[in-house]
Every structure is written in C-alpha cells, then in structure tokens.
Amino acid sequence: MSGNTFGKNFKVTTFGESHGAALGCVIDGCPSGLKITTEIIQKALNRRKPNAVIDGKVNPAVTMRKEDDCVEILSGVFNDTTEGTPIALLIRNTSQHSSDYENLKNTFRPGHADFTYQEKYGFRDYRGGGRSSGRETAARVAAGAIATEILKKSGIQITAYTIKAAGIEAKEIDFSQIEKNLLRCPDATAAEKMLEKINEIKSKGDSAGGIIECQIQGVPAGLGEPVFDKLDAQLAKAMLSIGAIKGIEFGEGFAAADLLGSENNDCMHEENGKIAFDSNHAGGILGGISNGQTIIFRVAVKPVPSIFIPQNTVCVQDGNVKSTELQIKGRHDVCLCPRIVPVVEAMAALVLADMII
C-alpha cells in the first residue's frame, strides 16, 4: 500500500489503524515561521469528535463512543513556530473496544472494506476496520488545521455544511446556523426535521445518507495546474478519498447536463475597472483554474454501512466460504454528515494549501 500521502508541496502522510497504538500524520512542506500550537489542532479535532449532546439534546446521528483524540506535536514546531521541518502529529488510541470486533474476524460486513482489504493484502486488521476505519480521518483533520492557518493568511475561508440528510433538504443557507444544530445544517428548520427523521431511522436499526456542500471563499484567480492537476480534479480526488463519499459535482454539476450553453455560461462585464462575472454556474473554476469567484461543490454521503438489522453475508474460515447472517454490535453513527463536514473542510484545505504555497 503506498497511497498514504496527499499533496506535492504541502505533503501529508497519514498512518494508523483504528485499534492500533496510535494514528497521526507527518506534514512535509509546511513553510517556516507559521504560528502553530497544540490548541489550534486540538480545536479542529474536537469538531470531528462525536458531537453527542448539544444544548442538552442527545444527537441521534452520532455514536456515543468516546474518542479522546488528544494530539501531541512531535516535531517541526519550536517555540510555537513552524521550523520548515516535517511536522509530526500523534493521536493515541485510548478507549477502543477491540473485543467488540472478535466476531468479525472471519466475517465480512456488507458495505465495509473488510472483503477488499482481505483480497488486497491477504491479511486484515479486523478490529474496527483497521486502516479503513473512519478514525483515520482524525489525522486528516489535524493536518487540515495547519493547512487552514496557511490559508487564513491568504484570506481563504472554507465552509462546509449538510444540505441534505435522510432525504430532508435544507431550504436556506445561513452560515450562522451551521454550528448551532447537531446536523451542521445551515437551515435550522430543516435541521429539526432531519433529526426527527434520523431518530425514526435509528429506532429501526437502520442508517441514513446525505449531501454536504462546501463553499471556498477568497480564492484568488489562477490556482490549479493544467491539464491533469486541475483544481477541480484535485478536489474531486481529495473528496472521493473520504470513505463514505460516492460522488462530487461543481457549480451546476449534474444539473448542467440539462442546461443550454447560453444558460450555463458565466458572462462577464467590467466593474470598477475589473472583470466581474454575471453568474457562477461554473462553481468558481474554469479550465481547472480558479477564476476568483467562490468555489462551490457538493458531495454525496452514503448511509452508514454499520446497521443493526441482520444482514446476509459470508464467513471465511480456513479458505471455506459459507453464507451466514451478521448482527452488528457496538456503537455506530446513524448519519455521517455532521462528522464528515470537518473532514471535507480539512481535505479542501489540504488541496488549497498545496497549491498556494
């Protein structure tokens, strides 16, 4: 396996299995002189943690599993300042219950990577998915926190939020609402309905999917490398590298298929001596290069594969394959959207930091 590094200039290599000793990352290429503290990174990690209770309300969307996720900076920072040397970040695994997974030693969970890892490596860390677990994204969020500090200096702001969950759509986009509800939805009313629906799905032992939108503001024109390393191509790779994401679209996206050229083109005009666009159907990217407008994309999040309804699957012992029924135990999220929001932001930050350095 050798695909654990992301980026060319701001290079992040992650490591760690969900139930091993630790997970973390090494960032190679962070400029020297940036102010970085453990607190900055910890704050970002806390956003990824199961947001179990807000305002006294229990969040049905996420697991009650305790994930401490305390980060330690091992290198690359001296006197709270980056040295230009590799920054290594360590997050120890603490409260993982490996015993929950003993029954999965020979059984493949539907919708998970158990089968494909077994096929690829001939050997598998069956404890909670090992490397394929969503826990791996904690290292991405930690690295993303540093990338975000770089972007801040360039005036770039990334905001992701849930626009659909369990079939319920957000009707308005009010950034101020995002962190006020358990779904990270920019529409408070829709958020209420989403929670209701998720509670209902949870009670049946099932799970739900959703759609996350991301806006990147303040990106100067000119980012992105033709022809293969286009900005949208890099963002697409970054997002599809998140386990639960099954699709991405920029600007009008799939809807553009039904538009006429005259409807989809963004015309231009002069405004205060500068070029201005009449619309943003393109989502801020033309020919793979940012055009100075807000970058907008949406990603599809599949329903959590760990459900409590018994499922048909197979069990392999000593090379013998047998059909069996699996009853998943433990604590699992019902809808991943609110926890993937910070991961989407982190991955977008890695893409942009890589290009802006």
Q: Which of 302, 329, 330, 356 binds its own copies (CB under 8 A)?
A: 302
Neighbours of 255 (CB within 10 A): 11
**87-92 sheet: strands from edge to edge:** 5-6, 11-16, 22-28, 87-92, 71-75
Q: Which residue has the tokens 């197979």?
A: 314
Contacts to its own copies from residues 37-66, by CB under 8 A: none
**Residue 182 Cβ vs its own copies, minimum distance, rounded to whole Å:** 18
Q: Which of 120, 153, 171, 331 binds its own copies (CB under 8 A)?
A: 120
Quote the CA–CA distance of 75 and 84 in Å, as a whole number: 10
Show Cβ contacts of residue 197 under 8 Å, excluding neighbours closer than 6 positions: 165, 166, 167, 168, 208
**Residue 63 Cβ vs its own copies, minimum distance, rounded to whole Å:** 14
**Residue 260 Cβ vs its own copies, minimum distance, rounded to whole Å:** 5
Contacts to its own copies from residues 198-227, by CB under 8 A: 201, 206-211, 221-222, 224-227
DSSP 176: G
Nearer to its own copies by C-beta: 11 or 97?
Answer: 11
Rule CB under 8 A: say whether 339 interacts with its own copies. Answer: no
**Residue 158 Cβ vs its own copies, minimum distance, rounded to whole Å:** 19
- Decide if 266 contacts 251 (C-beta within 8 A): no
**Residue 55 Cβ vs its own copies, minimum distance, rounded to whole Å:** 26
**Of 135, 150, 184, 180, nearest in space to 164 by CA:** 184
**Residue 152 Cβ vs its own copies, minimum distance, rounded to whole Å:** 19
**Residue 261 Cβ vs its own copies, minimum distance, rounded to whole Å:** 3
DSSP 173: -
**Residue 32 Cβ vs its own copies, minimum distance, rounded to whole Å:** 4
**Of 116, 137, 102, 115, nearest in space to 328 by CA:** 102
Q: Which of 186, 305, 338, 342 binds its own copies (CB under 8 A)?
A: 305
Nearer to its own copies by C-beta: 150 or 304?
Answer: 304
3-class DSSP assignment, residue 309: coil
**Residue 212 Cβ vs its own copies, minimum distance, rounded to whole Å:** 9
Binding region for its own copies (CB under 8 A) out of 56-64, 131-139, 173-181, 185-193: 131-139
Quote the CA–CA distance of 170 and 118 in Å, as a whole number: 39
Nearer to its own copies by C-beta: 185 or 239?
Answer: 239
What would you report as the CA-atom Rg of the chain, rounded to the nearest whole angstrom? Answer: 21
Nearer to its own copies by C-beta: 33 or 57?
Answer: 33
Tokens linked to 233: 């191509």
Contacts to its own copies from residues 231-270, by CB under 8 A: 232-241, 243, 246-270
Residue 85: what residue type? T
**E strand or H helix that includes residue 71:** strand 71-75
Quote the CA–CA distance of 352 and 231 in Å, as a whole number: 8
Show Cβ contacts of residue 78 under 8 Å, excluding neighbours closer than 6 positions: none
**Residue 58 Cβ vs its own copies, minimum distance, rounded to whole Å:** 20
Q: Which of 52, 173, 300, 356 binds its own copies (CB under 8 A)?
A: 300
What does the per-residue mask of binding to its own copies show for 319-338, with x meaning CB under 8 A? Answer: -xxxx---------------
Neighbours of 99 (CB within 10 A): 10
3-class DSSP assignment, residue 105: coil
Q: Which of 128, 303, 338, 342 binds its own copies (CB under 8 A)?
A: 303
Binding region for its own copies (CB under 8 A) out of 41-49, 53-61, 181-189, 302-310: 302-310
What does the per-residue mask of binding to its own copies show for 71-110, with x meaning CB under 8 A? Answer: -xxxxx-x--x-xxxxxx-x-----------------x-x
Q: Which of 35, 121, 196, 317 binds its own copies (CB under 8 A)?
A: 121
